[in-house]
Amino acid sequence: MRVLVTGGAGYVGSHTVVALAEAGHTAVIADNFSNSSPAVLDRLERISGVSVECHEVELTDAEATERLFHAEPIDAVIHCAGLKAVGESVSAPREYYRNNLVSTLTVADAMEKNGVRRLVFSSSATVYGAAHSSPLGEDSWPLESSNPYGQTKVIIERMLSDIAAANPGWKVALLRYFNPVGAHASGLIGEDPRGVPNNLMPFVAQVAVGRRDRLTVHGDDYDTVDGTGERDYIHVVDLAAGHVAALDHLDSMTADVRAFNLGTGASTSVLQLLRAFERASGRTVPYVVGPRREGDLAVAYADPSRARTELGWMAARSLEEMCADTWRWQSANPSGMSSRLDS
């Protein structure tokens, strides 16, 4: 299939482009490079052996988005594009609602106009909020996130469900990511956040490589294995494979819209991840314990059984592989993608 991957130059998007190529699909990237770099395109070609078509586009621009469907027929869309920093969403909710909701509606308009009715949407475990306890199942109800970023995912899931109900023929997979970490084994692509990382793994990696002095652990007084927060970390290459499995499943899906948890079902604490990273990198990661972070849960991990039984997919890579692959990427790209000397 010829698959439009919005946000395809980003962390999850670029790994999904690799997985699509490996599965024999043709990926077309649409990205505004607001949180990614065109430098990824050369690396994707080096990994997959094919030159990936890429369009720099603002998906809130209806005409520009529609033009993406005119060049050659698109069979399906994997919609990864969106603003995704939880903390930033609290201070800039209008930008998050406008960007994430309008871009999704613009993509859906262009799909309907061009007869494209297969969609895989990048959702998030954040939709479960604090109301439900782990292991988190897809039928948890109601969905209510504790931050505007997560609320955009709750609203978009509902938007897509209503669109599919009103427009016969649509098939939509809502992929609820738990905590994506790791990097492609080549070390050529990986998580490359702009500015100070919000998420744990890239921050730990930047401390290990010497870009940051120390990690601040956000609280060690939770009711967990060692007092620090526990999460379901999933290797981004496993996550990417989940997108291909969902894409290939759409035609045979009985429901028009179906949510799938993409997680491992295991939980790891902050300190357990830090120690695993020290073992994988051979580096010491200094840390201090600070106050809890507003909105954080103590524990969050998936019940991944639906994806296993319905998609035939399950995460395979270990925490050790997540750390080793992250370190290979970070140590080869100490200041991120755009600064690496391409030898």
| 89 near ligand WQD (CB under 6 A) | no
Distance CA 127, CA 236 (A): 19
| 276 near ligand WQD (CB under 6 A) | no
| 231 near ligand WQD (CB under 6 A) | yes
Residue tagged active-site, from 11, 128, 149, 177: 149
**In 3-state terms, what secondary structure has residue 98?**
helix
SS3 content of the chain, % helix, strand, coil (to 5): 40, 20, 40
| 235 near ligand WQD (CB under 6 A) | no
Strand partners for 231: 268, 300
310: CB partners within 8 A, 6+ apart: 249, 258, 260
Q: Which residue is nearest to ligand WQD (CB)?
A: 229
Distance CA 129, CA 261 (A): 14
Q: How crowded is the C-beta side of 247, counted as CA atoms within 13 Å?
A: 26
Q: Is 149 a catalytic residue?
A: yes
| Segment 184 to 213, residues that bind ligand WQD, using CB under 6 A | 198-200, 203
Closer residue to ligand WQD in complex, CB, 47/228: 228
| 259 near ligand WQD (CB under 6 A) | no
Of 96, 75, 90, whose CA–CA distance to 27 is shortest? Answer: 75
Closer residue to ligand WQD in complex, CB, 117/147: 147
| 154 near ligand WQD (CB under 6 A) | no
| 293 near ligand WQD (CB under 6 A) | yes
Task: Kindly determine how many residues on this chain lie close enough to bind ligand WQD according to the rule CB under 6 A.
Answer: 19
> Can you give the binding site for ligand WQD, defined by CB under 6 A?
84, 86, 124, 126, 177, 179, 198-200, 203, 215-218, 229, 231, 270, 293, 296
Catalytic residue numbers read: 149
